[in-house]
Structure formats: structure tokens, C-alpha cells
Structure 1
Amino acid sequence: MRKIVITLNLLLVVVLMSCKDDATSKINSSNLEAAGERDAAAKMLPVMAFEKVEHDFGSIIQNTPQETVFKFTNTGDAPLIITDAKSTCGCTVPKFPKGAIAPGESGELVVNYNGSGNNLVQKVVTVSANTEKGSEQLRIKAFVNPKGGAPVGPLKQS
């Protein structure tokens, strides 16, 4: 039995040693360059840098439309493409720029809120884009006072 094991080990060593071709001779340098360029391009991503990610409308009268603008800059090294922007409800409507935003360029996302609700209202707008995270979240809030009633909530300070 011991002779069989030794013989099989020697046979295995001979087989492994005979397959020792130089692998580097099989590499095509033009394919290597193309793969390097492709990998470098895959690492280039856009980045949405917002001036603010939350806006407080303060104390407002119920059903009074409000609007705010979220300004952003593409601080990445690839064109930014916003594919969608959605709110947590139909009372908040985001409008986003169509088309690509080049690196270093800025854009604006406009959010309209119809003023519905009572007391403290908070809404989230989710922006889908080709960034590394895939989405960004923006928030708006307001203290909504009933129509015809006296203000009961916090007043917006200037």
C-alpha cells in the first residue's frame, strides 16, 4: 500500500511539472490595455452634492402652495443622470432636470408642496440617479395651521 501511495505522489509531481508553460506568453497586450481602460471608466461615477438636503417652510396656512429649490452640483467624474424623483405622497411634487449633467455643472430640483395636512408635516423626496448609492433623499417640513384659525405652531424666523 505504501509503494502505491509513493508511486501516485511521484506520478502527480511529474504531471504537474510537465504542464509548466509560460502563461505570460499567452497574454495579448492590446486586450490588456482595453481592459485597463474599461476598468478605469467603470470607477468613474457622478456624485450629487446638495447645498441643502432639508427645507423648513415654517408655519403656513393650510392649502397654501409652497415651493422650494434644492440646488446640487455634480462633483463626480462622470455625467449625472437623474432617472426619477418621487415623494412619499401626492401632495409633494418634485421636478428634476432631464438629460445629463456634466461633472462640475450644477442643477436644480424644484419641490412643490400643496400645503395639505395638519400640524407638523414632513415629506421625503427620493431622487434616483446613476450615483454610487443609486438614490438621494431630500426632506421638507412645515407646520400647517388650519385655514381661518390663529397660528398655533412655531413661527418661521428670518
Structure 2
Amino acid sequence: MNITNIALIGLLSFSVMSCNQASKNSTETTDSSSTETVAANQNAGIGTIEFPEREYDFGTIKEGEIVEHVFTFNNTGTAPVILAQVSATCGCTTPEYTSVPVKPGASGEIKVHFDSNGQAGQQQKIVTIRSNAENSVETVQIKGTVTAK
């Protein structure tokens, strides 16, 4: 009985070590594949977004006025940039943006509308831009003061 137990324990130990080795090999293969994929993406190029202006101060306006401002960006990378999502911090601020891929060397736009109705006081509205660019998350902002009616 003792020899059977020892043999069984030895067999289980061998099985566990074999599983760990297979797991290591699988991880090494995955890491190697990931590295190759990253290298392939680097060879294909990647877009980069650059904003000449990240902040717009609209000064002082009266409550109820609508402010519009266009932020332009340049693709200084080597592949097209696609804007995936552009969102604002509140419902009073609405962005419109370039929906076609922006080729390297070209520029795109993000037009921001701010409705000051019900927004008296100091204002700072941030617009978040998500894209496939190297700098995949960027922000721009509009700010100013709204005087009450």
C-alpha cells in the first residue's frame, strides 16, 4: 500500500510539473506573438494628434447665450487617425467632430457648442477625445464666466 501511495504521489507531482511547463510555454508563445504584433503595428505606423490650442476662454457672456469654438488638430504621425468618441463633461456642451480618418499631415476639427442657459458663474467644460492615435486620450476645454439673467 505504501509503495502504491508513493507511486501515485510521484505521478501526480510529475503531472503538475508538466502542466506548469506547458503553461510557461503557452505564456512564452503568447508573449512572443504579442511582441510580433506590436512590431508589426509599429512598422505599419501610428497616428499622433497635436492640438495647437487646447483651451479656449470665451470671456464673459450673458446666461442663455451659446458659444461655439472649433479646435483643430493635426495628425503628425505616420498612419490615419480615427476619432472613436468625443464627449463632454455635461449636457450643456455638445461636440461635433471629423468622422472620416485624418491622414498623416492632414488636420481635423472638433467643434464645441456651449449652451449657457442655467449655467451662471465660472464655467470650465472639458471635452475628451478618444482615438486610435498614439496619444489615444486627449482633452480640450472651454472656459469663461456666465452672468445671470
Q: TM-score of the superposition, structure 2-length normalised?
A: 0.70
* Residue-by-residue CA offset, 1:48-102 (whole Å, 9 max, x unaligned): 1111000000000001011000011100111000011000000000001112110
Q: State the alpha-carbon separation in 2 of the partners of residues 41 and 145 from structure 1.
A: 50
- Residue 145, structure 1, aligned to residue 143, structure 2: no
SS at match of 2:42: helix
Q: Could you say which structure has the higher helix fraction?
A: 2
Q: State the alpha-carbon separation in 1 of the partners of residues 41 and 85 from structure 2.
A: 24
Gaps of 5+ in 1: 1-34, 148-158
* Residue-by-residue CA offset, 1:24-58 (whole Å, 9 max, x unaligned): xxxxxxxxxxx69x825435211111110000000
CA RMSD in angstroms, aligned pairs only: 1.7
Match of 1:72 in 2: 73
- Residue 42, structure 1, aligned to residue 46, structure 2: no
**1:107: how far off?**
1.1
Counterparts of 1:3-42 in structure 2 under 5 Å? 39-42=39-42
Q: Structure 2: which amino acid aligns with 1:57? A: F
**1:128: how far off?**
0.7
Q: State the alpha-carbon separation in 1 of the partners of residues 141 and 110 from structure 2.
A: 12
Q: TM-score of the superposition, structure 1-length normalised?
A: 0.66
How many pairs does the alignment contain?
112
Match of 2:136 in 1: 134
SS at match of 2:82: strand
Greater Cα radius of gyration, structure 1 or 2: 1
Q: State the alpha-carbon separation in 1 of the partners of residues 89 and 41 from structure 2.
A: 35
Match of 2:54 in 1: 53
